[in-house]
Amino acid sequence: MVSPRESWSLTDHLLSTQEHLYESATQHPFLLAGAEGRLSKDILSRWLANDRLYIHSYIRAAGTLLASIDLPKQVPGSQEAFETQLADWLIEALAAIRKEERFFIDVADRYGLGIEIAIPFPPGSQTAAAAQNIAAKDEKLPGLIQLESIFSSISNPPTTSTDSPSKLPGVALVQSLFTTTAAATTPTPLLPWLEGALTFWGSERCYLDAWSWARDKAEERRCSGGHAEKDDADGGALRKEFIPNWSSPEFAVFVDRLGALIDAAVAGMLEGKEGEERERLKGEVLGRVEGKWKTLLEAERQFWPDV
């Protein structure tokens, strides 16, 4: 009798790799300074302005991934399908991150913070567009530029449909307009949305762990009788508003939900596979995501300003 085997967790595997890089991305001096009330309003404002642009990039990427998901055609089992659950998560994420941007604006207004990257008036020798591009490049943090590139690269291989050609008038023509020769002949990989889903999970997980670490450091500081909150250089915006929001139990549940969805989908793909076949499939998955995971962590590390 074959003993039951524990299911393999892709997210646990990724978290166990690049440990030093993950630590540097989630335990940065910027976070410690914020936890201890040492961040000036200027430094915090610059980071918030970049984080707001991150939100915009996140929204565009979520729309791209949503557009690429091939939702189940049949009703039975459709609500439990991984694709449907991923679509639900992304829709919730879009609603939440729009609420987040409104939260940014409200807190910035109450604490006198700036959350907009300034664009200087262009010299006469430059066009307005060129000046805007130069200024944006100068003001953007390296990590934001990298994350924007990562999000902009989110896409899915075209879905190879096994359905028979549509008999509805005009539908076959419309389908042909949006289907390239490559799309018709390139086989769809297993879990074609995997890289995109992992990008969102990884970014959110880093954010959660980073600010949870900052929360713990702030609590240690408070218990040791250190820096008084009334003396916070940012007026208390981080410790009173942002840190509690970004380390909340509700946010943790939301992030974990996507991680559990990814792990369940990968486990389902491996179910029933044994020996070399199972290892081959795992190798294919890791080949698709391990390099992207490292690139994401490098971007997350560069997202924090020097202090």
Mind listing the pLDDT tens digit for each residue in 20-56? Answer: 999 999 999 999 999 999 999 999 999 999 999 999 9
User: So where are the chain's domains?
Assistant: 10-157+182-301
What is the third-level CATH fold of 10-157+182-301? Answer: Heme Oxygenase; Chain A (1.20.910)
Taking the chain, what is the end-to-end CA distance rounded to the nearest angstrom? Answer: 59
Residue-wise pLDDT for 114-163, tens only, equals: 998 864 444 553 444 444 444 444 589 999 999 999 999 997 444 444 44
C-alpha–C-alpha distance, residues 21 and 202, integer Å: 13
C-alpha–C-alpha distance, residues 242 and 41, integer Å: 14
When pLDDT is averaged across residues 202-210 and rounded to a whole number, the result is 98
Residue-wise pLDDT for 242-276, tens only, equals: 999 999 999 999 999 999 999 999 999 998 888 89
User: Is 140 in contact with 53 (CB distance < 8 Å)?
Assistant: yes
Residue-wise pLDDT for 119-133, tens only, equals: 444 455 344 444 444
CA angle 195, 163, 194 (to 5 degrees): 5
pLDDT confidence of residue 228: 61
C-alpha–C-alpha distance, residues 263 and 198, integer Å: 10
Statement: the pTM of the whole predicted model exceeds 0.85: no
Three-class secondary structure of residue 246 per DSSP: helix
C-alpha–C-alpha distance, residues 205 and 199, integer Å: 10
C-alpha–C-alpha distance, residues 284 and 60, integer Å: 28
Residue-wise pLDDT for 228-247, tens only, equals: 667 899 999 999 999 999 99
DSSP state letter for 78: T
C-alpha–C-alpha distance, residues 172 and 167, integer Å: 7
DSSP state letter for 230: G
